[in-house]
Structure 1
Amino acid sequence: MSIQVFILSNLMKENSYPYKLKKQLSEPIPLDQLGGLTESKLYYHFETLAKKGLIEIVEIIKEEHRPDKQVFAITAKGREELPKLIYKLFENTDIVKDMIVGLIGLQYVDKKKVVDILENNVNEIKERWNQLSGMEGKVQVTEEDKELRNFVRGYITARTDHNVQWLEELINKIKQGVL
């Protein structure tokens, strides 16, 4: 889904074709490689969006000794769906790294609604963590398993605290209008 949000967000700015978007992702930092985005995956998502009526071919560029380039534009239906996809992206994850594509499209959504979603995510994380922490005394651990339990608890605590910290920072930056 995040690849489709990326494509639609870019087509909101200008008409484009798959190879051009792939090239934008690979220069100067190879974000495509870091995210495992291949050219075939990108073409697949363009085709999927076209079948859904969210984008359409508006031009075919013919070049000698090269394959034709199909230039796509976002449709009215695509403009309508993009905010829904962005909200869904924020709702389906509570990890900032998985939200980055959605953050790129913040200009196409109601930021207050995004803040509400993110605050809900933080509250759910804290609630889950409190429930797990409350179970600690109820679970019998052998002496030989204490070190493992302490290691795992430390790791999970640090990850949870770090994630909540970054989500709260993201919420504050959106509220302040910085993002």
Structure 2
Amino acid sequence: MDSKRAHIIRSAQRLFLKHGYLKVSMSDIAEELEISRPTLYKSFANKEAVLDGLLSLHAEECRAEVRARLPKARTLTKKLQTIFDIWVIEPFAMAIGNENGRDLMLNGSTYYPAVFERTYQLIQDELQSVIDGEVDSKSLIPTKDLSQLLSLSVKGLKASAQTEEDLRRLVKGLIVMTTAVIEKR
């Protein structure tokens, strides 16, 4: 992503966290950046496109972090924990203390489902790539289904967790169940 678009996205992110996604307009973003609205619209067609850019930038950063940290994880448990830390727990920890961040994290899929579903698909793909290397053809659940179940499960875990500690505990349980299913073969 080019630096101009990334700068716009980071400014918009600050506004979303300060005022709430629904209350921020393209005019607000342009004003924050001290640019004209037509200049902003040359980079992003609308606020949904800015949000899409924010999630794309986040996904790039998460994938880079997975590439850096996953080789150090030697067991399936540690590999799954690494992916959940990067894609779920660390973003949750950043958002949970901010009312507007929590709103965007928990309700963003209601505002713009396609944008958020793409993020969960990326999580599912990361999980499947790890699980594929651990499961043989005698698995109780196909790896695609298992990774989809895990990706869908974290949505509910994030929605129900009140604290980072709650989420860590719930994710740990999910990992224990997953490894039990895989190792039961």
Query: Which TM class, normalised by the smaller chain length?
Result: 0.3 to 0.5
Question: Which of the pair is proportionally richer in helix?
Answer: 2
Length-normalised TM-score, structure 2: 0.32
Report the TM-score, using the length of structure 1 for normalisation.
Answer: 0.33
Q: Which has the higher strand share?
A: 1
Higher gyration radius (CA) = 1
